[in-house]
Amino acid sequence: MKRSTFSEGQILKMVKEYESGRDVQSICREYGVSRATFYNWKKKYSGMDGSQVKRLKELEEENRRLKRMYADLSLDHQMLKDILGKK
């Protein structure tokens, strides 16, 4: 997965500038991002502060870890079913 060249703090700063009334086109030109990227960030980070973004990242990491654990257990379970089914 490609990592953003912008930190969450920079993204929040851009979104806050937009919320304060600054034009999207000028923000995108200044920071060198596309409008689509900016609108995706706006959808994700609008109304958040730094601590909420940190908590979001922690929850996303935990979710990724739990999904991986479930996939591993699911594969183990399927292998055991296959082994027991052959006997």
25-38 pLDDT, tens digit each? 999 999 999 999 99
Dist CA 61 CA 54 (whole Å): 11
Put simply, whether the predicted model's pTM sits higher than 0.85 gets the answer no
The full DSSP string for 6-66 is: S-HHHHHHHHHHHHTT--HHHHHHHHT--HHHHHHHHHHHTT--HHHHHHHHHHHHHHHHH
Dist CA 71 CA 65 (whole Å): 10
Q: Flag whether pLDDT at 1 surpasses 70.
A: no
